[in-house]
Chains A and B, each alone.
Chain A
């Protein structure tokens, strides 16, 4: 079967850096994606890692270690608008399996 684990909640202040971890157990793994979802909104794609290492996209970076079945999303220079839920998702076959999500609250 598949399982993904993320912390349920993280809090931080504006301007800070926060790391959201994701560990997974799955068969047929081909990559790890991250999605952001604001309350009442649709999930939106943030990043994707197929190979080990760091992918950087502006203020957001994502890391993957396939040997450790582990990844993280790093958010820098936090802004209030970053308050949202963040989901890691494992690509297996041609579909995504999502984690339960991490709710990030950014305080002024």
Chain B
């Protein structure tokens, strides 16, 4: 079956612009996670959704970052007034349920470059 998909695969933008990154999780997965990964580092937790609600957004670096999952499926990560330091690969993952030994399935990521 289809895995987690993310669009776009690459996004180049200018400092100060607004961007939206989209994640399509595996059908039926209730938990959805966003991570950010810089070169040579592990994925850094940003936010996770259980259904439609953001259950934990403690990883969002500041109020320029926001994410939604209005129908409990597709999610969009929104970044306002982008800065060069936002450049990274943004990964989305989904799992059948949150927590425990639930394996997370990752998408291929969106590489964001802020010039």
Binding site for B on A (CB under 8 A): 4, 30-31, 33, 41-45, 48, 50, 87, 89, 91, 93-101
A42 CA to B92 CA, complexed, in Å: 10
On whether the beta carbons of A97 and B98 are closer than 8 Å, the reply is: no
Q: A91-B100, A95-B48 are in contact. Are A42 and B42 (CB under 8 A)?
A: no
What is the total number of residues of chain B having a CB less than 8 Å from a CB of chain A?
A: 28
Q: Chain B's nearest CB lies how many Å from the CB of A92?
A: 10
On whether the beta carbons of A43 and B45 are closer than 8 Å, the reply is: no
On whether the beta carbons of B99 and A93 are closer than 8 Å, the reply is: yes
Q: Interface residues of A: mostly helix, strand, loop or mixed?
A: strand
On whether the beta carbons of B91 and A42 are closer than 8 Å, the reply is: yes
A99 CA to B44 CA, complexed, in Å: 9
A48 CA to B99 CA, complexed, in Å: 12
A-contacting residues, B1-41, CB 8 Å: 4, 31, 33, 35, 40-41
A91 CA to B109 CA, complexed, in Å: 22
